[in-house]
Structure 1
Amino acid sequence: MSQYLPVANGMKSFWLTAESDFSSHRSTEELPKEIDTIIIGSGYSGATTAYYLSQGDLKNASNILMLEARNICSGATARNGGHLKPELYYDYNSLKNIYGEKGVAEIMNFEYAHLEAVKELVEKEDIDCDFVLSRACDVHLHSKSVDKAISNYYSMTKNPYLKYKRDVQIKFGDQARIISKVEDSPVCVTYSAGQLWPYKLIIHLLKHCVKKGMNLQSNTPVRKVEKLNDGRYLVKTPRGDIITNKLILATNAYTASVEPKFEDKIVPIKGICSHIVSSDPTKHTPHLTNTYGIRFGEANTDYLINRPDGSVVVGGAKKHIFPYKDVFYKNVDDSTLIKGSKEYFDNYMQKRFYTWKNFDSKPDYVWSGILGYSDDSLPYVGELPGDKNKFIIAGFHGHGMPRVLLCAKALANFIKGDKGPMAIPQSFKITPERMTGTKNEILKSLTIPLDAKL
């Protein structure tokens, strides 16, 4: 379904300023006619799955072909906020109502485990990606979100299966305002988080896989996939067709372009992000020690990281996006901005944080990106029912940084033949029941209250 393929001329994000000749890498001039494993997508999901598939056996990497529709890692991974922020409390009650105490603990413990897992990977492979551990500070500025944060926080503390409860702290009144540096904040919640340069992380991992023998092909979109009579898959591209034994869809927002079953199950959602710098490069910015989630209303949220070079990355501007379905829903065009979103980031820090009030800053990059929202807000990971050796790791709902890595590790181990269930939350696994369900909660989850303070 070509309408779900990436557009050719996506905007340049701040992260993509690190692009090099490798971004258009092609390991071979021609595509192979046959290969054991094809991974479609070179972002966070595809790169980490390839990395774990190639661990321990050089032959594994040489049997992998990775296809990318545009330049390497040019999709959502290179357009996000660089924020490694697990969700540890705010959606606790709604998830508990669906998945029970053990199920919600599975999800939240899994996300928290990514802090250690990403740190371990970065240190093991000596990856220069500006990785920093910090505290996340969630600021709630709307009465409904304040009430929800408090209710969910105290409910979360009663779950005996959660491993991280003592890492989460809630503060009120003046303490909340001083800790957050936000004057209007009646409550804030803090917990461990991290940040990094996502593009640099993925490029390092892909170079590692290529060195071990993986065939990486940029600017090679997959137009169609057909299942052959012998159970293998025919992958069609403009540069030729390839037959493969195993197929891995690491396609996130673009999954419906190669697997039509996901047209209303993983939906492309257009989002906006920015990079903010000092107007005077000779002056140091008032660096904030926390990363942030700022909630103006239920779905109206911004997120930001304070980078170690003094700049700030801010994403959100949702008041210009989510009230207008035709602007963001099933939209794969990351070559343009959404009206009003660029101006949203003007004087952003001065308006939000009192330590920035007398400091001049400006956005030097504002860009769009395409997120893969799933119908039930959780990713789809595993072997597709009825399609042996066709796997998926996609649908991360704008929340992939604390979910992808360990999903990729578990999927790779499963593909390599590890016995037992995949080591991911049960609710993430692709099942016949999830695939036949017709309820889509995406638009309902993006409603912005009319009285939200914007």
Structure 2
Amino acid sequence: MSSKYLPASNPVKSFWLTAEVDFKDLRSTEELPAEADIVIVGSGYAGSTMAYYLMQEQFSGSMVMLEARDVCTGATARNGGHLKPSLYYSHKSWKHRYGEKGAAEIVNFEHAHLKAVKEIIEQEKIDCDFVLTRSCDVHLTKTAEQDCIDNYYDMMRNPYITCKHDTQILFGEAAKNISHVVDSNVCVTFTAGQLWPYKLMTSLLRKCLEKGLNLQTNTPVLGTEKRAGKWLVKTSRGTILAKKVVFATNAYTASVEPKFENKIVPIKGMCSHITPENRPAHLNNTYGIRYDGADQDYLINRPDGSVIVGGAKKHIFPFKNLFYNVVDDSTLVPGSERYFDGYMKRFHTWDTTKATTDYVWSGILGYTDDSFPYVGEMPHEEGKFVIAGFHGHGMPRVLLSSKALAKAVLGKDKNLAIPSAFKLSEQRLKQTNNRILQSLGTPEAKL
């Protein structure tokens, strides 16, 4: 096991963490229990929803959750809060690799998260600033425009995609007027959501705690060892013998399972919170703002009039040592703070509005060698499960992956109702072609 992949102990505080919960550093018991039926490693989006769905499946055994830092302080408390399925922009690539049916599996699965997330929020009566809206992708280079058009119409020809009706492409003045971005000649709109992700996950965790979940924060896991048909989970505070263990560790998975080194790679990203001095006209859409290749930003408009903007990849991706295989979210990437200042001037509803970038933070994303998450049981290691590596796109992928994996952990459905591309397999673990830098458009990133 490698301690170099463990989370930093002093992360920059994000805007989302202004809502820190009263159990942020909870240890349900003073000492670690000696044994447990299920141990979940990680308290973020994947870990919290795993615990929730296991209990929804009427699991009544002992369950322990181990978190290396305070509760839910990883990517879930650092992302953009953007529930945005990818419905068209990667379609040609996905079709090339998995065929029309395989590409449609991914598109339909991501779109299904809109309903699933809305249902869980309403069913559990969770206050997390959830807004169901439309996202607007704008394309600000000729290359981005052509990629948009090619992928959009390729997606529309796929007979297996069931949510094509939810997308619309607009050109010229219509694109400029709908997007409010004066440089946008092509835009695509579709249903999306926005929310306060930390509030959603900690609300689910609170419900799990009420049902008996044993939470142990600030307890890094250092590795596992097979012991008498069970898994000895080694931590900085001792060991737990578990019948089953679930790694919901995203970017940090190599710290507990060395087989994922160079397969789930920690990538450092940047995000910000911007507050206007005088509230401008509300932008009705959330946004994906695309330049060439993987150079893109994202934006959500919060109900209080502030916005969250993430990306700044122009200041990150040219320099491999600043972002690639980096787990340190205690510092900012140089230049990224300046990137967000004045950002909102591109929207004509904000062009006379003074605004302050009052929070800028870093976060660690779990990018994978083939751009898809690893979900399932480890080959030849019965009782060890992984749900990790969401490639900076976890909001429309994690929830239903957790729901499916919970059934597999309990032995109720080992087929996993997730896209085939997501399933953990021996073949995927053995392949050695790491496409991450290529996918980012920086194959010659500077050292």
Instruction: Confirm or deny a common fold (TM above 0.5).
Output: yes
Q: Which consecutive aligned stretches of 4+ in structure 1 deviate over 6 angstroms post-superposition?
A: none
Match of 2:172 in 1: 173
Match of 1:293 in 2: 288
**Amino acid in the other structure paired with 2:182:** E
Match of 1:263 in 2: 261
Cα deviation for residue 56 of structure 1 reads: 4.5
**In the aligned structure 2, how far is the partner of 1:449 from the partner of 1:344?**
23
**In the aligned structure 1, how far is the partner of 2:443 from the partner of 2:224?**
42
1:119 corresponds to 2:114 = no
**Amino acid in the other structure paired with 2:236:** P
2:315 to 320, 323, 326: 320
Maintained 8 Å contact 1:86/1:108: yes
Cα deviation for residue 286 of structure 1 reads: 2.5
Cα deviation for residue 417 of structure 1 reads: 1.9
Provide closer, same or farther for how the CA distance between residues 171 and 321 of structure 1 changes in structure 2, counting only shifts above 3 A.
same
Match of 1:354 in 2: 348
Q: Deviations over 1:179-219 (max 9, x none)?
A: 01111111000000000000000100000001000100110
Match of 2:373 in 1: 379
Match of 1:303 in 2: 298
2:340 to 323, 345, 357: 345
**Amino acid in the other structure paired with 1:268:** P
Structure 2: tracts of 5 or more residues without a match: none
**In the aligned structure 1, how far is the partner of 2:409 from the partner of 2:81?**
29
Question: Matches of residues 150-229 of structure 1 in structure 2 within 5 Å?
Answer: 150-228=149-227
Q: Deviations over 1:302-338 (max 9, x none)?
A: 0000000111000000001011101000000000000
Match of 2:416 in 1: 422
Question: Matches of residues 42-57 of structure 1 in structure 2 within 5 Å?
Answer: 42-57=43-58
Maintained 8 Å contact 1:300/1:448: no
Number of residues of Structure 1 aligned to a counterpart in Structure 2:
443
Match of 2:327 in 1: 332
Cα deviation for residue 449 of structure 1 reads: 11
1:36 corresponds to 2:30 = no
1:411 to 400, 405, 416: 405
Maintained 8 Å contact 2:140/2:290: yes
Match of 1:365 in 2: 359
Aligned partner of residue 332 in structure 2, secondary structure: coil
1:439 to 389, 408, 433: 433
Maintained 8 Å contact 1:58/1:212: no
Maintained 8 Å contact 1:410/1:424: yes
Cα deviation for residue 420 of structure 1 reads: 5.4
Aligned partner of residue 223 in structure 1, secondary structure: strand
Cα deviation for residue 20 of structure 1 reads: 2.9
Maintained 8 Å contact 1:44/1:404: yes
1:391 corresponds to 2:385 = yes
Aligned partner of residue 99 in structure 2, secondary structure: helix
Q: Deviations over 1:55-100 (max 9, x none)?
A: 152614xx11000000000000000000000000000001000000
Maintained 8 Å contact 1:39/1:46: yes
Aligned partner of residue 30 in structure 2, secondary structure: coil
Q: Taking structure 2 as the reference length, what is the TM-score of the superposition?
A: 0.98
**In the aligned structure 2, how far is the partner of 1:198 from the partner of 1:25?**
20
Maintained 8 Å contact 1:285/1:311: no
**Amino acid in the other structure paired with 1:156:** M
Structure 1: tracts of 5 or more residues without a match: none
Maintained 8 Å contact 1:34/1:243: yes
Maintained 8 Å contact 2:176/2:183: yes
Aligned partner of residue 359 in structure 1, secondary structure: coil
Q: Say what the alpha-carbon RMSD is for the aligned residues.
A: 1.2
**In the aligned structure 2, how far is the partner of 1:312 from the partner of 1:188?**
20
**Amino acid in the other structure paired with 1:240:** G
